[in-house]
Structure 1
């Protein structure tokens, strides 16, 4: 397996020594990094050395929110927090073909609770890019795997305050490894992207003892009507008010060999390692202010339940099952947007006794002040939970959030 990993690195390097064609606007210091989309109306604050051998760009963003929650059979509660607070640095060193990107997180919800024996999760992305031309990217380091569209997109580019329940449970996430991307996007004709990855399968900032289980991911994106305006596939809502219909169809598959965690790159540690597979399908359509998204996600795993060898009553299970997401919105000329979303999630029979099936309904209103980089969002979300004994519960919340960044 180690030989395969090394061979893949060599193929990525020698297979991409094409002529250097870096198309960059002198008035735009933004670098399109295919594994790390980061929507921003502004382009941050940048420095370029006089000899143009070094570029450093810095950005920040934060999400401040307050939520009123009402869970059935529980007292109501109010929660106020800094949901996300992030810094990103990117640029190149020595040559525009050799790029870097670093993203750090500081909010408690990003870093997570500090537990004995676990790492603090400040580092989200630390990745090196070799970009010989506009079509190829070789990526080495820790960043997002090429999975579901909503997960690939920055959390700052969402129409609602969080991703769907299926993204939270079934998706693949950040990992350390090597990726190879072949990008072919054109404005007014059929376009496509291919992305592959071989990664550790353990998630971000993992320092567990090495093993021979890796994760293998492949992704294809099709643009039958041409690429979206201003990278519009990387943010939700039709902010560009596409004059012609634009369509994205995408699919990804990931196999995580000997995974250690309940959700592959995320979740609690399993008591025994398991193989798991993920299937992720997406569609996105934008036209004259209307935007529609649909997604299907599924995780497969045999023998999903693992048992503590010292206590048979203590278990950890792989969150396996499937779900659908549907999202529809319209952006008014005034800068206000209305959005509705429905998600349904069903787990496999083996784990149904431990976790419910869920239907989620969300409606929201967004006021774009400076596109996604500065916006105010209000949202109402209702969860319908159904348990194995046919018992049901309803939980809901109302939330207000402000996002700002550069």
Structure 2
């Protein structure tokens, strides 16, 4: 005990007087005095840094027991797009597609987590969650509703520069509500279920009708990360998933919808109408439900993904109608962790005679990805040929080049 007190006193004197240009830590002094071993020093040193930086995770500040942590980071996507239009003027444009800053971590316990994410001037994620068990966690606030797998996969982890035509027509985006999620048997089975306002992010609910959404994933060969790239895996991985969502829209929902919910904005096309137009078209309400199903696989640098969306809309006045869409994509890392090539086909259809919004489009895409540090630093290029069967001479060609940095 005397040796430990002496060593501690010596450390305090050195720190207080600045006697050395580079003062030793208390652990190093205890090691020099023979109080602790080299192994003890290594373990203590690993916990010495309470503030540090990790690429892709940002700056971390934490308590020694890990019950309080804060990760501050962000993501930048700078893009160039050339659009060759059959109708109208060609476009050549530089844009900042995404500039996100996030703050996430835990407080009081490792199980009580939080996240806040801002994209330019718009709040995206803002929620708190508590994990009671691997099989059950509760989350309240704003986040993505549990639906399609491609939508739930971060925009920073996509195989292409952006998500598919089908996803961008039928996804639910972010919403405010209460949800539960969990996994059992080492991620063999995962689930997400929740109740939401149903009008998109940063929007309240003007009536008592909520959106219900749920998703289930089965990973028979082991945990399958939400990452579309074909990183070399030492064993094959397989994900099979399905989701269902439903809601009854009322006239007073009109004007309260955020376009981040593409199902309302594009597939149903009710984002831009007012209460009078809603009542004239559908009566006092419009019920909708949407199913999704997906199959994803990876092995030895190859990646495959396919997802199907099926929408049914039933108005109080008039006949109901259906719309659907899908995508199929595949990629292969020609040079592991460095160079990747990919192909994708996607199609959407809403040609039912009763449909409020009609569309019949498809896209073929090819991509090349170059990774400097996986998704943390990468350069992507893709070419898209869009075909619109409901419009004459409206087949567009799009070239995009995007640089991404996650910090």
What band does the TM-score fall into relative to the shorter chain?
Answer: 0.7 to 0.9
In structure 2, the CA distance between the partners of 1:398 and 1:305, relative to structure 1 (3 Å rule), is farther
Aligned length: 336
In structure 2, the CA distance between the partners of 1:305 and 1:358, relative to structure 1 (3 Å rule), is farther
> 2:173 maps to what in 1?
173
> 2:228 maps to what in 1?
236
> 1:327 maps to what in 2?
329
Aligned residue runs from structure 1 range 97-246, under 5 A: 97-106=111-120, 122-184=122-184, 186=186, 191-207=188-204, 210-228=206-224, 233-239=225-231, 241-246=232-237
Structure 2 residue corresponding to 1:377, chosen from 366, 377, 380: 380
- For the aligned residues, what is the CA RMSD? 2.7
Q: TM-score, normalised by structure 1?
A: 0.77
In structure 2, the CA distance between the partners of 1:41 and 1:237, relative to structure 1 (3 Å rule), is farther
Q: Point out the structure with the larger helix share.
A: 2
Give per-residue Cα distances to partners, 1:92-127, cap 9 Å, x unaligned.
Answer: 111112111111110xxxx5xxxxxxxxxx110110
Give per-residue Cα distances to partners, 1:67-87, cap 9 Å, x unaligned.
Answer: 111111222110110000001
Aligned partners of 2:197 and 2:204 also within 8 Å: no
What displacement does 1:202 show? 1.2
> 2:294 maps to what in 1?
282
> 1:300 maps to what in 2?
312
> 1:81 maps to what in 2?
95
In structure 2, the CA distance between the partners of 1:346 and 1:392, relative to structure 1 (3 Å rule), is farther
What displacement does 1:378 show? 0.7
Give the whole-Å Cα distance in 2 for the aligned partners of 1:252 and 1:66.
34
SS in 2 for 1:150: helix
What displacement does 1:157 show? 0.5
Give the whole-Å Cα distance in 1 for the aligned partners of 2:195 and 2:92.
42
SS in 1 for 2:57: coil
Given the alignment of the two structures, is residue 402 of structure 1 paired with residue 403 of structure 2, yes or no?
yes
Aligned residue runs from structure 1 range 14-93, under 5 A: 42-50=56-64, 52-93=66-107
Aligned partners of 2:81 and 2:93 also within 8 Å: yes
Give the whole-Å Cα distance in 2 for the aligned partners of 1:26 and 1:352.
61
In structure 2, the CA distance between the partners of 1:28 and 1:256, relative to structure 1 (3 Å rule), is farther
Give the gaps of 5 or more residues in structure 1: 1-24, 30-39, 112-121, 307-317
Give the gaps of 5 or more residues in structure 2: 1-45, 279-284
Give the whole-Å Cα distance in 1 for the aligned partners of 2:168 and 2:316.
18
Aligned partners of 2:352 and 2:358 also within 8 Å: no
Say which one has the larger Rg.
2
SS in 1 for 2:385: strand
In structure 2, the CA distance between the partners of 1:386 and 1:352, relative to structure 1 (3 Å rule), is farther
> 2:238 maps to what in 1?
247
SS in 1 for 2:132: coil
Aligned partners of 1:173 and 1:265 also within 8 Å: no
What displacement does 1:256 show? 1.4
Give the whole-Å Cα distance in 1 for the aligned partners of 2:264 and 2:72.
28
